[in-house]
Amino acid sequence: MASSASDRPRIGITTYLEPASWGIWKRDAALLPRVYLDAVVAAGGVPLLLPPVGTDPSVLDLLDGLIIAGGCDVDPGAYNAVPHPETADTRPGRDDHESILIRAALDAELPLLAICRGLQMLNVTLGGTLHQHLPEIVANDGHRPSPAVFGRTEVKVEPGTLTAQILGEHAGGDCYHHQALDAVAPTLKVTARADDGTVEAAEVDGHDFALGVQWHPEENPEDLRLFIALIDASRRHQS
């Protein structure tokens, strides 16, 4: 069962499975940038890591909310597309893992926040497709200026949406991606776009809190509104 309403909500966060090194060791490891953990803690939650191995959707019974984290390119095979030359470092096992968790979370009405790749996975899981190399669509590299350098995105939010309720009608933040939503899944509603037309936020119809953003809100510890909203929704779910 989920924790009682007096406890801090338990927030599961999906992780990477990547080659890593620490001390004298070089081995595969489940990884997650610390900024996700700090954001959940600062917003009032308890972070729990969900590695992409041994996937079992019943783990969601232990959680009060779920974050689908950013990361590598989504495998085009997940939406029946031919790989683009710029699509690289895909992890089909992670795609499958996150799709299972996304579907289970929606079925259970578990509050869900999907970030960057997470928004892309949310769209693909629900039947949408992706632009595999965004610079070909928007004719600039602003969403991923150079390796390991974040861009800055400003977005216009649709009024009357959950996204607007949390962020107002103008938002944005650090971004780092070269893929983005193309065909939007039938049950997904676009709630924010960048000036160049890129889908920057979307919500799942008919759910209290199932929201994805294309930027990285965890990178700005001064603006925790999305994480606080997730924690608030998770408290409602607890009760």
Average pLDDT score over residue span 129-154: 95
Query: Does residue 216 have an active-site annotation?
Result: yes
Residue 7: its pLDDT value, please? 86
Q: Tokens standing for 2?
A: 């989920």
User: At 6, is the pLDDT very low, low, confident or very high (cuts 50, 70, 90)?
Assistant: low
Place of tokens 């968790």: 101
Domain count, the chain: 1
Phi-psi map region of 206: left, alpha, beta (phi>0 left; psi -120 to 50 alpha): left
Residue 214: its pLDDT value, please? 98
4 falls within a domain: no
Instruction: State which residues form the domain around 20.
Output: 10-238
Q: Is the pLDDT of residue 162 over 80?
A: yes
Catalytic residue among 131, 216, 219, 237: 216
5 falls within a domain: no
Rounded CA separation 91/210 (Å)? 24
- Comparing C-alpha atoms, which of 68, 89, 66, 90 is closest to residue 78? 90
- Comparing C-alpha atoms, which of 90, 125, 89 is closest to residue 105? 125
Average pLDDT score over residue span 169-198: 96
Residue 1: its pLDDT value, please? 39
Average pLDDT score over residue span 128-157: 95
201 falls within a domain: yes
CATH label of the domain that carries residue 22 = 3.40.50.880
203 falls within a domain: yes
Q: Is the pLDDT of residue 2 over 80?
A: no
Helix axes 92-107, 117-125, angle to 10 degrees: 70
73 falls within a domain: yes
Rounded CA separation 64/88 (Å)? 33
Residue 5: its pLDDT value, please? 45
Place of tokens 């994480």: 227
Q: Is the pLDDT of residue 110 over 70?
A: yes
Task: Please say whether the beta carbons of 125 and 103 come within 8 A.
Answer: yes
Average pLDDT score over residue span 120-140: 96
- Note the pLDDT tens digit of each residue in 185-235: 999 999 999 999 999 999 999 999 999 999 999 999 999 999 999 999 999
In the chain, the percentage of residues whose pLDDT exceeds 90 is 95
Catalytic residue among 98, 218, 219, 237: 218
Q: Tokens standing for 41?
A: 């803690």
Average pLDDT score over residue span 21-39: 97
38 falls within a domain: yes
Rounded CA separation 140/58 (Å)? 42
User: At 182, is the pLDDT very low, low, confident or very high (cuts 50, 70, 90)?
Assistant: very high
Query: Does residue 175 have an active-site annotation?
Result: no
Task: Please say whether the beta carbons of 41 and 33 come within 8 A.
Answer: no
Q: What angle do CA 18, 92, 211 make, to 5 degrees?
A: 90
74 falls within a domain: yes
Average pLDDT score over residue span 18-35: 97
Place of tokens 């390796």: 147
Rounded CA separation 115/10 (Å)? 18
Please give the model's pTM, rounded to 2 decimal places.
0.95
Residue 4: its pLDDT value, please? 46
Catalytic residue among 116, 131, 143, 200: 116
2 falls within a domain: no
End-to-end, the C-alpha distance of the chain in Å comes to: 11
